[in-house]
Amino acid sequence: MGRAAASVTALERRTLERRTEVDFALIGHQESWRSAADVLAVLRGAERARLPDEEIREIFPWIPPRAVCNVEIASATGAKARGLYIDCFIPPDRLDCDYLHDNVGRVRAAAACAINRGARIVSLGGFSSILIEGNFDQLPERSGTVFTTGNTLTVAFIVQGIRKMCALDGREISKSTLLIIGATGDVGSGCARCLTPFVKRVMLCARNAERLRTLAAELEADGSEVEIATRLDQLPFAADIVICAASLASPSLRLGRIAPEAIICDAGYPKNLNPRGDMTDARVFFGGLGQIAGGLSFMPDFKGVLNRHPFLDVAHGCLLEGMALALARRFEPFSQGRGLITRERVEEIETIATLHGIHLAPLFNAEGPLEGMRVLTSNKRPEVGFAPGNLK
């Protein structure tokens, strides 16, 4: 059978490579079994019955990380960029530390997939950003592909969302006490740097006391009032603006003491807030999301499935960062490492995103939109319930 293995000509190889190259790749994972089931339902096609939940839980963990669909994004300038969505196929109930090794392996395989497909820039969504938040050695061999966590644009949209919510509610941000949960993470610390100069005081909560002290010292050097705590119940004041940006395996956070009618931004993926938490009077919104004026399309059509939001063409800032940079033809590792997001970098990515028609998404939460515009009415959004845990 040896002779059949005739060598591929260089021309054939180049043609093949050109055909498969893409501008960007988005790496992500599903945050709930409901969203995993919807992804499989689209793949099976409308003519086949949905798989029973039990089958989905049995099949899903065996799927190797791979491209799920092609993505195209259009800029306000008329430019377009082509990409891929690659899912790590991490089972949604295995996002905790017990599965860390396996999950990092899945993200690496997804990254290798992006490299093999010739993606010039790769955005790492949700858990997958772990790969370049200080673990650069975990990245597979690559040439011509750069990676970004996308966290800078996420921070930009969280900060914009807080400002917008304050404006909608007639709050003065300068008189507010800001609490950031997950404050020493890349997103949390970026938000702290952007918002601390504008609030009355800031409270930082995270598990690592040493990192908390370092961040507090940095912020205090600018003359800000900063409190730190490793547990929420240690905090001395009731916050009236809260940013939840912790890495949690499931929506399990209960806030405890917060000011009546506090503004809460849940920016976690998976969501941070426990849906049963008592926040009757709080003004909760899901943060870190942007909307693409020029449109976002998937092939096959995963609209409303991969981006489970009540508005059209909405996606997470972390994924939008890679797309914005691809539209700007700036194939650079814009966000890497941990704790390096500054106000200047946030402004820079905001400028790039704005130029291409990528703006803060209309605000919404588990109950639905908090303001009315371009609500998704298409019937292509299969059984998406507004329940926390399935809205990303």
SS3 label, residue 323: helix
Number of H helices, E strands in the chain: 9, 17
Is the CB of 4 or the CB of 97 nearer to another protein? 4
Which one of residues 25, 37, 68, 132 is an interface residue with another protein (CB under 8 A)? 68
Which one of residues 19, 101, 175, 231 is an interface residue with another protein (CB under 8 A)? 19
Q: Which of residues 25-54 bind another protein (CB under 8 A)?
A: 40, 43-45, 48, 51
> Among the candidate windows 8-16, 147-155, 237-245, 311-319, which touches another protein by CB under 8 A?
8-16
Nearest in space to 292 (alpha carbons), one of 121, 81, 108 = 81
Nearest in space to 366 (alpha carbons), one of 288, 283, 304, 302 = 283
Residue with tokens 């003065």: 172
Please state the closest distance from residue 66 (CB atom) to another protein, in A.
3
**Spatial separation of the C-alpha atoms in residues 386 and 268, rounded to whole Å:** 16
Is the CB of 8 or the CB of 221 nearer to another protein? 8
**Spatial separation of the C-alpha atoms in residues 228 and 212, rounded to whole Å:** 7
Q: Binding string to another protein for residues 152 to 191, with x set by CB under 8 A, is what?
A: ----------------------------------------
Q: Is 2 in the site for another protein (CB under 8 A)?
A: yes
Which one of residues 58, 98, 278, 332 is an interface residue with another protein (CB under 8 A)? 58
> Among the candidate windows 5-13, 138-146, 181-189, 337-345, which touches another protein by CB under 8 A?
5-13
Q: Which of residues 286-345 bind another protein (CB under 8 A)?
A: 300
Q: How distant, in Å, are the alpha carbons of 69, 144, 213, 303, 317 from that of 90?
A: 17, 27, 34, 21, 21
- Judge contact between 157 and 187, C-beta under 8 A: no
Please state the closest distance from residue 87 (CB atom) to another protein, in A.
9
Contact residues: another protein, CB under 8 A: 1-8, 12-13, 16, 19-20, 40, 43-45, 48, 51, 55, 58-59, 61-64, 66-70, 84, 86, 113, 300
